[in-house]
């Protein structure tokens, strides 16, 4: 690949940390995925922007990964550049009265935001406790649980869009179920947490943890929900009703705790996950005439892989 040498030169000159042909599996929560040609780890917004400018200008294929917690990567690898946001983290306190206004870099983990809020007596993000996501990934996916979603907290998003940095104050219709509709790479965002008694926040956290422990395979290797819930009902309930709870193909199986989770039993292949997804989709369609849409994102896998 002609562009690789020039990219390496650029990264060295700018002193941006990168690796050659690194395996992606350790960077995903399901622990599946081959090598990317290059993985790059910007540490601050300036570095991130100059890298994005370069990748755009040179038309180099790239993909941004946060916590890798909603991602299936091809075990044959990705012929492009993966940009990790995980070193680009930090929280700045803007205002602290009835609300706590925070400016947060995209690679910051949700749990760090919840912890900072708790320490100062502000809550609102507890519904995502235990979810191994970064803020950028949670905004892009409009991550949610127990009737709440990330959109409720986000006041401003700083995005990189086609060579420009833009600040957006999202409106209600910029959000939808499991997506922030405005395209672009999320660099940072401003969030508001609400004043609350520490004891109340602690109780909320405990309830969320208990519910997750009871209903989800949280200690297994998964990528969270496989399919989006269709308007009528829960995807997991439909998969359970077609008899696939606990069903196994090779080294992957549908969780016995929650049928919308796929577990890597160690050594799973990408194709095994896709086969299980195809089977669940086919059976649910045949039985209920409902076509399940994936919630998980794919990297290095062709569109139409579930057809």
Smallest gap from Cβ 274 to ligand FAD, in A, equals: 17
Residue among 225, 255, 272, 281 flagged as catalytic: 225
Smallest gap from Cβ 145 to ligand FAD, in A, equals: 4
Q: What is the DSSP string of the chain?
A: -HHHHHHHHHHHHHT--EEEEEESGGGSTT----EEEEEE---SHHHHHHHHHHHHHTT--EEEESS-TTEEE-TT-EEEEEEE-TT---EEEEEESSEEEEEEETT-BHHHHHHHHHHHTEES-GGGTT---BHHHHHHTT-EETTEEGGGTEEEEEEEETTEEEEE---GGGEETTEE-S-SEEEEEEEEEEE--HHHHHHHHHHHHHHHHHHS-TTSB--S-SBPPPTTS-HHHHHHHTT-TT-EETTEEE-SS-TT-EEE-SS--HHHHHHHHHHHHHHHHHHHS--PPB-SEEES--TTTT-
Please indicate whether residue 255 is annotated as part of the active site.
no
Nearest position to ligand FAD, beta carbon: 137
d(CA 157, CA 167): 6
Judged by CB, which is closer to ligand FAD: 122, or 125? 125
Give the number of other Cβ atoms within 10 Å of residue 165's Cβ: 14
Smallest gap from Cβ 136 to ligand FAD, in A, equals: 2
Judged by CB, which is closer to ligand FAD: 24, or 244? 24
Please indicate whether residue 178 is annotated as part of the active site.
yes
Residue given tokens 């997750």 in the structure block: 212
The residues facing 103 across adjacent strands are 92, 190
Binding region for ligand FAD (CB under 6 A): 29, 63-71, 85, 106, 131-134, 136-138, 140-141, 143-145, 185-186, 218, 222-224, 297
Residue among 178, 190, 255, 272 flagged as catalytic: 178
Judged by CB, which is closer to ligand FAD: 186, or 193? 186
Judged by CB, which is closer to ligand FAD: 197, or 256? 256
Please indicate whether residue 225 is annotated as part of the active site.
yes
Smallest gap from Cβ 96 to ligand FAD, in A, equals: 26
Judged by CB, which is closer to ligand FAD: 147, or 304? 147
Smallest gap from Cβ 135 to ligand FAD, in A, equals: 8
Judged by CB, which is closer to ligand FAD: 56, or 287? 56
Smallest gap from Cβ 142 to ligand FAD, in A, equals: 7
Residues taking part in catalysis? 178, 225, 295
């Amino acid at each position: 690949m002609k562009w690789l040498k020039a990219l390496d030169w650029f990264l060295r000159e700018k002193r941006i940390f990168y690796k050659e042909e690194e395996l992606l599996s350790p960077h995903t929560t399901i622990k599946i995925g081959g090598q990317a040609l290059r993985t790059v780890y910007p540490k601050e917004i300036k570095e991130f922007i100059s890298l994005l400018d370069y990748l755009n200008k040179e038309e180099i294929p790239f993909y941004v990964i946060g916590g890798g917690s909603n991602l299936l990567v091809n075990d044959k690898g990705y012929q492009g550049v993966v940009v990790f946001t995980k070193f680009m983290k930090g929280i700045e306190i803007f205002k602290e009265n009835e609300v706590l206004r925070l400016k947060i870099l995209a690679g910051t983990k949700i749990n760090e935001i919840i912890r900072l809020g708790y320490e100062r007596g502000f809550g609102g993000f507890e519904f995502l406790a235990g979810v191994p996501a970064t803020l950028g990934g949670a905004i892009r996916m409009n991550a949610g649980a127990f009737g709440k979603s990330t959109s409720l907290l986000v006041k401003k998003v700083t995005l990189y869009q086609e060579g420009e940095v833009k600040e957006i104050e999202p409106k209600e219709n910029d959000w939808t179920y499991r997506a922030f509709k405005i395209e672009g790479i999320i660099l940072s965002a401003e969030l508001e947490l609400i004043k609350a008694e520490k004891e109340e926040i602690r109780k909320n956290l405990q309830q969320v943890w208990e519910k997750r422990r009871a209903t989800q395979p949280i200690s297994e290797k998964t990528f969270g929900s496989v399919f989006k819930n269709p308007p009528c009902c829960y995807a997991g309930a439909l998969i359970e009703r077609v008899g696939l709870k606990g069903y196994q193909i090779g080294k992957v199986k549908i969780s016995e705790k929650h049928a919308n989770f796929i577990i890597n039993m160690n050594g799973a292949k990408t194709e095994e996950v896709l086969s299980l997804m195809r089977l669940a989709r086919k059976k649910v369609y045949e039985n209920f005439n409902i076509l399940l849409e994936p919630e998980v994102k794919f990297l290095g896998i062709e569109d139409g892989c579930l057809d």
